Amino acid sequence: MFIKQVVICGFRSYRNEVIVEPFHPHHNCVVGRNGSGKSNFFLAIQFVLSDEFSHMRPEQRQQLLHEGSGPRVVNAYVEITFDNSDNRIPIDKEEVTIRRMIGFKKDQYFLDKKNVTKTDVMNLLESAGFSRSNPYYIVKQGRINQMAIAPDSQRLKLLREVAGTRVYDERKEESLSILKETEGKIEKIDEFLQYIEERLKTLEEEKEELKEYQKWDRMHRSLEYTMYDKELREVRDKLESIEQQRLEEGDKTKDLHVDLSSVAAEIKFLERDLKELEIKGSTKRSERDQLLDERQLQIRQKAKLELDLKDLDDVVNDDAANKGGAAEELTDVEGQIKTAKEALDQVIPQYHEQKDIEESCATQLRINEQRRSELYAKKGRNQEFSDQSKRDHWIKEELRSYGSSLSAKEDQSKTVEKEVTETKERIEKIAEEIQERTENLEERRKEIEETSKELGIARIKKDEVQSKRKDLWRQDSNFEQSLGTSKEQHDEAERQLRSTVSKAFNNGIDAIKKIVREKNIDGVYGPLIENFKCNEKFFTAVEVTAGNRLFYIIVDTDKTASQILSIMNKNKMSGEVNFLPLNRLSYKETQYPTSNDVIPMVSKLEYNPIFKPAMETIFGKTLICRSLDIASQYARNEHMDCITLDGDQVSRRGALTGGYYDKRKSRLDAQRQVWYWQAKLQEEKMSAGKITSEMEEVDAELGKLVSQVQKLETTQIQLRETYDRQKMDVQNLSVEKRQLEKHLETKSRLKASLESDLSALRGTVESLTKELGTELLSQLTSDEQEEIKHLTKEISRLQGKIRESLEKRSKLEVEKNMYENLLISNLYKRRDQLLNCIDEIGMSQRKQEFDSKKAEFQQFTTAMDQTKKRLDWLEGEIDVYTKKCNELATQIEGKRTREKDIQESIEEESKHMEKMANKRAVKLRKKDEVMRKIRELGSLPADAFEKYQNMTLKELWKLLNKCNSELKKYGHVNKKALDQFVSFSEQKEKLIDRKKELDRSLDSIKNLMNVLEHRKHEAIQLTFKQVSHFFTEIFKKLVPGGTATLVMKRSEFDDEGSSLPLVEQFTGVGIKVSFSGKVSETKEMQQLSGGQKSLVALTLIFAIQKCDPAPFYLFDEIDAALDPQHRKSVAELISKQSDACQFITTTFRPELVQTANKHYGVIYRNKVSHVKQVSQEEALDFIEDEAADK
């Protein structure tokens, strides 16, 4: 055992919580500057472990609290953790923590965080080896110096403390106190004996008159006794008569109670049946109300569906009418288009023919005019150019210019021709695409129609499944309501059962059920009452026999019971539990008597064979008997417990118990109700579970159908969007085709114009080429002149032909434009509109909506019919349940009337019984009064019981009056003189015996005091020898070659003739030492130097510690005054002894630091101390720095 850890908070200089790292089990050294808090650290440990800080005043408590800067400290605590691996402290833990907390008013101890008293802590420490008589396991700073200069008497006092003489002194003081008390008692007894002697002399004189008085008094008491006896007999006769009547009335009341219990049981069963019928009726009514609400909703929905159907029917009819009208109009439009196209087809060839003629004539006209212009230009060149070379130069320039224009025109012609080709190809491609997309449109239309049909079928299926789910919901709601009611009845039955047993039993059973549920413990079978059944007529007998044992818990083994109890104690779970471990219950097969008057109780119980030990233990020794007389007979003869069906019990030991047993509070009946409602609840849960499973299946199917409908709706929307998109694409492509055709026509005209220009340019180039190099003439050649004439005529002819063709083309163009506008702007658009209208009507969902609504309407009609049938059936069922409920209510009312009549009869009987009880009570009081008067007569003469029995009451009164007259003569006599004489004589004898006993006690006390004095002397002698031996041994270790002895000094006035040595003869303990070992150099303490005195004092402390060893030691600067060589010896001694115990030391010297196993430094900052672990080198550096500072 050793100190493992110290925690200080708010104590002296330690303001904040300081947790000292775990100490070494051997030697620990603490270093620090003066005033840093080393001594406070030791003081904190002493604060917890010693008695020094007991019974402190408020100012002393204040001094222990930290008083530095910052908020005021209101409490402080010191906590010490011990390593208890050797179990030196009698606690089964590896570590034990002791904390002491102090404040201005409080002073508390805690053991492992539990509040304990100081006495508990001190007793625990003493059991671990901390002796109160030897406080030197803690040596404070300055203690060595005090011992060094202490006188011999002080060392003797220390030796007495170590020897434990305090115990002897305390016992001696107790003995002295008892001695004084005993002497006082003896003195009082002597005084009282003297008083009794005087009183006995006086009473002796009064006895003679008293004898005469007693003669008449005996006669008086005999007469009174005879009169009282006659009165007592009369009262007893009347009491017997009343008792007989009471028994008869009791039997009658018992029969009434039996009838009442029977009627109550019948009412209970009828009420249960009524409750079940009401639950079923309520369920049916709830379902009816739901169906009525549903029917109202169906009616509203049906009306809405009828309106929707009518609207959709009108819309569908309108669509059909519109579609027919559109089809007729489309036929008419198609005819108009055909007529217009035929007319256009006739006009267009003529138009193109005239246009071609016009263009060819215009082209030829431009060529001829160009040629004529060239010839005229040639004719005038002789005037423009002076010679041939200039002309040729100009022709070359013109040819170059025309060459560039010709190249540009050829490039433009090629480009236009390419564009024409591409436009034609694009027109063909668009035509193919229009054809393809038109075919796709028809496929999409078919897909949309098929999807619409599938969607309608899926919606119908979905509606059917939804209707089925509604029915299941309704059934589930009914089951939930029924389950709730059954649960309430089950809970009520359990409450009824729990009310028959104490709260402690209920808490215990609840705790066990919780433990078994949470810990999953096997082998727990529950209370006894839950593990057997029996016939109802045996309920009372079984309950009375078992009593509270009905709620004992059956377990398989005692190990299981121990495990449960362990968990309950650990978790502090309240409750009372009793176990029936089957492996520990032993029984013998009982030989039951064979008779029709008795039945073994255990034979009427139904239970699992594994519970036979428990059943035999509780019920095996009990017989059910026909009557109480038979029960008494068999209890005596068979040595078994017997009980009647009414619960009257006869124990085999002879005790008889019984009385009225209220069967309405039967535990077994309550348990039967619990089982009944449990079974019903389980049955309803199974049915509800089936409904839930069906609902889950229906929900899954409905989910699939909803998903299918959503997918079909999504598919339909996508198909419709695709259809509309493709239709729009076809329209856009048609528009694009017409635009390309117009563009192609424009490009074709451009191409023709370019070819005409090219021909003219080529002719010009050809003419200039021919002119180049020819002779410059002033006139044209005859051929050229002839050509001009021809060209002029041809130009005139072409111009005329162009005008004629232009006139015809204009007329044809007007006609062509008229037909084209009619087709494009009117007929084609109208045809597209009609086609779109017909298509929209064909693609419309209204027909499908109409079909869907129609199917939904049919479903609603079917559902309404089913609802109507179900409602009619429910109404019939409700009528049946109502009729049955009324019948049961009538029966219950009759039974209640019968119950009320019985209760009134019982009340009347109770009143009658109460009257008889009052009479009986009066007679009993009269009897008690007479018997009291007889008792007050005291001891009677021997002839008092028979002497006056034959006399009449009148004669007795006459004699009694005579006795009273005689007794009046002795009124002055002390009637208690004889009694007082006897009483005082008895007291005298008792006091004499008591005085003898006290004398013996006085001698025993004196002997005990002598024995204590002798033992104290022996203890001092023995302790002195041990300390002296260890003192010499340790001094030799510290001072090799030196010697030291302790000397017991005695008084000079010692009585040598005394046989028993007294402690008072010792006056002190002297010390003689020699540091050289020579006898001649032996010195006493007063002759030594300061360092030598400290070493000798330290040696004495070590010797005391070795005489009474502790598990650890705390030394505060014990080496302060030692010489260097002695410090080293002390350090080595501590190092060796630390193998067997723990040392915690403080020092300013290096010797203890060098031998220590662990080192700690105390630092003082901002008026607050801190402790931390340091290395040996750091500790030595600190000591060197401290020495340098000094």
1048-1107 pLDDT, tens digit per residue, is 777 655 544 444 445 566 677 778 777 776 666 677 766 777 777 777 777 777 777 777
Asked if 1136 and 1106 touch (Cβ cutoff 8 Å), the reply is no
Higher pLDDT, 448 or 840: 448
Q: What tokens were used for 609?
A: 């064979």
Phi and psi angles of residue 742, each rounded to the nearest 5 degrees, phi first? -65, -45
With CA atoms as reference, report the closest residue to 765 among 1190, 255, 484, 371: 371
- Angle at alpha carbon of residue 1042, lines to 1040 and 1047, rounded to 5°: 140
With CA atoms as reference, report the closest residue to 324 among 838, 827, 839: 838
Work out the percent of the chain whose per-residue pLDDT is above 70.
86
Q: Which whole number is the average pLDDT over 356-376?
A: 79
Asked if 1166 and 13 touch (Cβ cutoff 8 Å), the reply is no
Cβ count within 10 A of residue 959: 16
Q: What's the pLDDT tens digit per position in 18-67? A: 888 789 889 999 998 888 888 888 888 888 887 777 777 878 888 888 88
Asked if 854 and 862 touch (Cβ cutoff 8 Å), the reply is no
Environment class of 231 (CB within 10 Å of its CB; exposed 0-12, middle 13-18, buried 19+): middle
pLDDT at residue 1012 in the model: 67
Q: What tokens were used for 502?
A: 């104490």
CA 361 from chain centre, in angstroms, equals: 110
User: Which residues are registered as beta bridge partners of 579?
Assistant: 553
Q: What tokens were used for 809?
A: 């083309």
Asked if 326 and 760 touch (Cβ cutoff 8 Å), the reply is no
Alpha helices in 499-554 (DSSP H): 503-519, 539-546
> What does DSSP say about strands 605-607 and 532-534: parallel, antiparallel, or unpaired?
antiparallel
pLDDT at residue 7 in the model: 92
Global confidence as pTM: 0.40
Longest dimension (CA), the chain: 223
Q: How confident is the model at residue 914 (pLDDT cuts 50, 70, 90)?
A: confident
Q: What's the pLDDT tens digit per position in 848-893? A: 666 666 766 776 677 778 778 878 887 888 888 888 888 888 888 8
Q: How confident is the model at residue 148 (pLDDT cuts 50, 70, 90)?
A: low
Asked if 1154 and 1177 touch (Cβ cutoff 8 Å), the reply is no
Q: What's the pLDDT tens digit per position in 97-112? A: 999 998 887 888 998 8
Higher pLDDT, 937 or 1115: 1115
Asked if 655 and 662 touch (Cβ cutoff 8 Å), the reply is no
Higher pLDDT, 25 or 370: 25
User: Which residues are registered as beta bridge partners of 9?
Assistant: 77
Does residue 13 come out as left (phi exceeding 0), alpha (psi in the -120 to 50 range) or beta? alpha
3-state secondary structure 854-869: HHHHHHHHHHHHHHHH
With CA atoms as reference, report the closest residue to 121 among 194, 32, 63, 47: 47
With CA atoms as reference, report the closest residue to 1023 among 127, 131, 46, 175: 131
In one-letter notation, the amino acid at residue 809 is R
Q: State yes or no: pLDDT of 409 exceeds 90.
A: no
In one-letter notation, the amino acid at residue 331 is T
Question: Of the ranges 207-221, 733-747, 1131-1145, which one carries the lowest mean pLDDT score?
Answer: 207-221
Q: What tokens were used for 425?
A: 């190809």
Cβ count within 10 A of residue 253: 20
Phi and psi angles of residue 973, each rounded to the nearest 5 degrees, phi first? -70, 140
- Cα of first residue to Cα of last residue in the chain, in angstroms, is 39
- Angle at alpha carbon of residue 979, lines to 977 and 984, rounded to 5°: 90
Higher pLDDT, 835 or 908: 908
